[in-house]
Amino acid sequence: MNIDNLDYQMGYIRSDEAGKFMAFLMDKDMKGAINGSSKGTISIREIIEYVEKMTGTKAVLEKTGENAPYNGEPEYSINTEKAESLGFRFSILQGWIYGLLDYYIQQVHAK
């Protein structure tokens, strides 16, 4: 695969947490955009290195490979201060991302 931004830090949110956040906002008196994201960021390189370590398999990265879905995306973290000022507390990314990766690794190995 071709990944053009291995070291870019990006923020993510679990789907269940996104749903809880949207439900939390239902009765809040607020205006404008509001962001939701787990606390912290992770790079694609960190994800690949973790999967390689857990599977014993080396990722094949080549400029001529299939383009990764996050290619061309800017590096970012998401400011959640507005949501937190309303009382919502987001999880810590590193507290769940590796468990999620483990789940998908197990799914692949079960086949």
**Would you state the pLDDT for residue 44?**
93
Distances (CA, A) of 57 to 50, 54, 67, 90: 10, 8, 20, 33
* Adjacent-strand bridge partners of 39: 92
pLDDT per residue as tens digits for the range 59-109: 999 999 999 998 998 888 899 999 999 999 999 999 999 999 999 999 988
**Would you state the pLDDT for residue 27?**
94
pLDDT per residue as tens digits for the range 29-61: 988 999 999 999 999 999 999 999 999 999 999
**Would you state the pLDDT for residue 84?**
96
Cβ-Cβ contacts under 8 Å for 87 (sequence gap 6 or more): 24
pLDDT reading at 6 higher than 90: yes
**Would you state the pLDDT for residue 70?**
86
CA angle (75 as vertex; 70, 81 as ends), nearest 5: 115
- pTM, full prediction: 0.86
Distances (CA, A) of 107 to 13, 37, 55, 82, 104: 21, 26, 12, 37, 5
Q: Which residue has the higher pLDDT, 110 or 35?
A: 35
pLDDT reading at 111 higher than 80: no
